[in-house]
Amino acid sequence: QVIKCKAAVLWELNKPFSIEEVEVAPPKAQEVRIKILASGICRSDDHAINGALVMPFPIILGHEAAGVVESVGEGVTSVQPGDKVIPLFVPQCGECRSCKSTKGNLCAKSDIGAPSGLMADGTTRFTCKGKAIHHFIGTSTFTEYTVVHETAVAKIPAAAPLEKVCLIGCGFSTGYGAAVQTAKVEPGSTCAVFGLGGVGLSVIMGCKAAGASRIIAVDINKDKFAKAKELGATDCVNPKDFTKPIHEVLIEMTGLGVDYSFEVIGYTETMAAALASCHFNYGVSIIVGVPPAAKKITFDPMLLFSGRTWKGSVFGGWKSKDAVPKLVADYMEKKFVLDPLITHTLPFDKINEGFDLLRKGK
C-alpha cells in the first residue's frame, strides 16, 4: 500500500522546510519501509540547504535516525516488520572493494560522491503534489515514513531507546569512530579537536576512550567549552583570544604539535590549520567535517613531505551494518553516553526552529 504521511520537504535552496503530505510507495525488491520515530539534525543537512553539499531538488533531507520496520520488499532477509532499526547513509553491500577490504568502509553503493537522490533502480519512492521528491544519501529521515535499500539498514536491540540511539546513525559514530577507528589514537597521545558540535564532542569521547593524555578543544564559541570539558577535553582554546594563527598556539602548547588533529567543521581554513597543528613528522590530521563543494585548499607541500599524514573519515570508518548494532549494544552497556549530545527535543513540525538553533550554535 502507498502510505500518506507528513514529511519536511525542501523545495529549493536556502528556503525553510515545508511540512507537506507525501505519498510513500511500498518497498520494491531488496527494500525496506521504515516508520521514523526519532531523527537528529546534523550540519550536513544544513550544508544541503545552503548548497555547500550539492543535491538535487526537491528533496527530503535527514540521515541520522531510528525507527521501526513497517514492511519489507521481496527477498529482504536481514530485517522484518516490527524490528527496531537505524537507517545507514553509508550502506554495506558486502560485495564492493571497500566492503571487502579491511581498510575501507565507504561502500560503492553509497549516494555520497555524485548524489543522484534516487533509489538503486533510478526512481524515487516519494511523491508530493504530483511531483517526484528526491531521497537524501539513501536515507531521507525528515519524514514519518521512508524507504531504504536493505544494505542501508541495521537491526538494533528491541530495548534500545530510539530517541537516543538515533545519534549512532551519524553524529556519534562519525566522531567517535574518527578517533578510535580512523586515527587509532593511542594511550598517552595528544589530540586537538577543531569544532565542538555533536560530532566534535563525540571525537573528544573517542580520544578519551582511547586513552589520550591531552585533548585540546578548539572553537570560536566559548559556550561550547563546559560540555567539552565534561566529556574529556583537558584544554579549551578560542582562536579569537590570540593574534597569531591557531596552529602556532597549539604547537607552543604541545612542544612540536599534537599527535592527532581532527577538523570537525567543514571549512577549508580550519582543515589547513588542523594539518599544520599536528607534529611535523608523525602527526596525523583527520578531516571529519563535510568539505564545501566549490572550495579548494592550497597548502605548503613541505607540511606533508616532513612526514605528516592527512586523512578523511566518513561515518567514522565503521562498516555500517556490522558496527551499528555493536555500538548500540555498547551504549546500552553504558560504555559511552549520548545524553550530553542532545540539547533540545522538538516535535517534528518545529523542524525549522531546530535548524535555527543549530545555526546559532545552540
Q: Which helix (H) or strand (E) holds 276?
A: helix 268-277
Length of the chain: 362
Residue 128 annotated to the active site: no
Q: Which helix (H) or strand (E) holds 164?
A: helix 162-165
**Alpha-carbon distances, residue 135 vs 57, 120, 144, 334 (angstroms):** 9, 11, 14, 34
Of the candidates 99, 107, 166, 170, the residue annotated as catalytic is: 170
- Whether residue 354 contacts residue 344, with contact meaning beta carbons closer than 8 Å, is answered with yes
Residue 44 annotated to the active site: yes
Give the Cα separation of 169 and 171 in Å (integer): 7
Give the Cα separation of 107 and 3 in Å (integer): 30
- Whether residue 22 contacts residue 60, with contact meaning beta carbons closer than 8 Å, is answered with yes
Residue 47 annotated to the active site: yes
C-alpha cell at 88: 545507514
Residue 149 annotated to the active site: no
**Residue spans of alpha helices (H) in 183-233:** 198-209, 225-230
Of the candidates 63, 134, 135, 247, the residue annotated as catalytic is: 63
**SS3 of residue 209 by DSSP:** helix
Of the candidates 5, 18, 39, 42, the residue annotated as catalytic is: 42
- Bridge partners of 31, per DSSP, are 149
C-alpha cell at 307: 612526514
Give the Cα separation of 292 and 333 in Å (integer): 37
- Whether residue 100 contacts residue 41, with contact meaning beta carbons closer than 8 Å, is answered with no
Q: Which helix (H) or strand (E) holds 31?
A: strand 31-39
- Phi and psi, residue 66, nearest 5°: -150, 150
- Whether residue 355 contacts residue 47, with contact meaning beta carbons closer than 8 Å, is answered with no
Examine residue 58 and say whether the peptide bond preceding it is cis (omega within 30 degrees of 0): yes
Residue 5 annotated to the active site: no
Which residues are identified as catalytic?
42, 44, 47, 63, 170
